[in-house]
Structures are given as structure tokens and as C-alpha cells.
Structure 1
Amino acid sequence: MTSMASRTSRTSRTSMTELRGTVETFWATAQARDWDAFAETLAEDVVYELPQTRERIHGRERYVQFNREYPGDWQARVVRIVAEPGQVVSWMHVTVGLEEMHAISFFTGDEQGRIAAVTDFWPEPYEPPTGREHLVERY
């Protein structure tokens, strides 16, 4: 007989693996502009948030349309994905034309292994304040 803790652990690992795979598919289909396959990674009631611009999108159809209509010739490459049960974080390297940037995306999954929520952070590069040169190494 399998213990409850063992079953829960197995379910958590499966959920983590499933959601990680879903996020990998999310990025691959976005990069390929395969919007039908991209939509399949999302829960019907997905919520997308951009804290820097204070924007929120509710629903799969609107979120797919947002990505479909995003301006410019952008490319996205996964740098790193970290997964735990029900949550995944991705670090992305994105180019839009000649501009390069990094983004951090937080994903939450639903019971079907689809993406229920995405929060994107698009940090802007800036020059550090003076006075700490003796402590840091610039790269």
C-alpha cells in the first residue's frame, strides 16, 4: 500500500515536471509564432500581469492576441528555467530589433498542467551608483 505522503510527493513531482514542460512549450511556440499551440499551454482563464506598466490581461484569447500583435521582430531564448510544484520561473534573453534585454517570468499552473497565471518582469539596464567600485566586478 502506498502512503499518502508518497502519493503526494509523486503528484507534486509530476505536476512540477508537467508545468515545466508546459512552460518550455509556451516559449518554443511563442518563438515559432505558433499561436494555436501557444494557446494550448494556457488555461482558459489565464491572467497575465506586467507590474512595470501596471497592465493585466484576463483570458486566453486576449493574451494570445496580445502576443500575436506584439510589435517588432522579437526573438526569445530561454536562459534558465527553475521549477517547483505548481510554479515555474524562467529567465529569458529577448531581442527586439537591435535591443537586447532579459526578462524574468513567473508561472503558476492549474490542475491540468496548463498555465493559469504569468507575471513578467522586464528589468531595464542602468548604470550603478558610484562608490562601490571597490566591492564589485563589472561584466
Structure 2
Amino acid sequence: MEDSEIRAALDRHWAASDANDFEAEHRIYREDAVLEYPQSGERIRGRHNIQASRSAQPNKKRFTVRRILGAGDLWITELVLTYDGRPSYTVSIMEFRDGQVARETQYFGDPFEPGSSRVQWVERMS
């Protein structure tokens, strides 16, 4: 699969995620895909289980992609995942095999105020 095809599949995936279209969101995954959340120690095996776990999530979610980088079988998406209006800065690392995601690892970070020791060098981002 060409990089441009994977990039287009990622664009469709994140658009479907933002629209809560769980069927379209999970077309990108292999049947035997593995999803890991290292911060909570969770591992979910299988596309069906990944989709079911996300469908059961009760919060209102929004996905704003900041950038997608990658080539070949390794792609990284930096995004803001907003749960019920609270942003979580997220990195998704996807490993592809035969044109579909075989493994995804997601890391989440909550926003925080800049430290007072560096305030004179800080430019606030929007």
C-alpha cells in the first residue's frame, strides 16, 4: 500500500472518529489488531473488541487532528481528543501490516499551566 493510500485511510479514520461513526472508524484495523493504553495498563485484542470498547464510552468525544506523520508501516497522529469539553493531548502510534492497523498505542496528556520558572520565555499557544 502506498503512503498516500495510508494517509487517506488515516484521514477517513479520524473523520469517522470525530463523527462517532464507529463502523467507519474501525475499518482501518485488522481483525487481529491490538490497541494499548500504556498509562492505564490496558490492552484490547481484536477489531471487534476495540470497536465495542469505544462504542461503550459514554462521554461526548471530539477529535481534532494537529498533524499526521509517517511512512511505510509506521504512522503517528498528534491530536486533541476532547471528552465532554475537556481536552486531552493525544499521540496515536499506528503500525500497519498489509494496509491495515495491526497495533496502535495511544498516549494521553492533560493540559497544565506553564511553570513559573520559565514564564518569561513562554508564548501562549491557542
Q: Give the corresponding residue for 1:124.
A: 110
Query: What is the aligned-residue RMSD (CA, Å)?
Result: 1.7
SS at match of 1:43: strand
Quote the Cα distance in structure 1 between the aligned partners of 2:109 and 2:75: 19
Structure 1: runs of 5 or more not aligned? 1-10
Quote the Cα distance in structure 2 between the aligned partners of 1:110 and 1:51: 21
Question: Within the alignment, does 1:110 sit opposite 2:109 as a pair?
Answer: no
Aligned pairs (5 A) from 1:42-81:
42-81=29-68
Which of 76, 79, 84 matches 1:89?
A: 76
Matched residue type, 1:62: N
Quote the Cα distance in structure 2 between the aligned partners of 1:75 and 1:124: 15
Matched residue type, 1:43: R
After superposition, what is the alpha-carbon deviation per residue over 1:47-81, rounded to whole angstroms, capped at 9, x for unaligned? Answer: 10111111110100000011111121111111111
Quote the Cα distance in structure 2 between the aligned partners of 1:133 and 1:78: 28
SS at match of 2:50: helix
Structure 2: runs of 5 or more not aligned? none
Q: CA deviation at 1:93?
A: 1.6
More strand by share: 2
Aligned pairs (5 A) from 1:12-27:
14=2, 16-27=3-14
Identity of matched residues, %: 25
Q: Give the corresponding residue for 1:39.
A: 26
Q: CA deviation at 1:130?
A: 4.3
Quote the Cα distance in structure 2 between the aligned partners of 1:41 and 1:89: 14
Number of corresponding residues: 124
Q: Which has the higher contact order (CA 8 A, sep 6+)?
A: 1
SS at match of 1:72: coil
Q: CA deviation at 1:86?
A: 0.8
Quote the Cα distance in structure 2 between the aligned partners of 1:81 and 1:23: 8
Task: Determine which structure has more spread, i.e. the larger CA radius of gyration.
Answer: 1
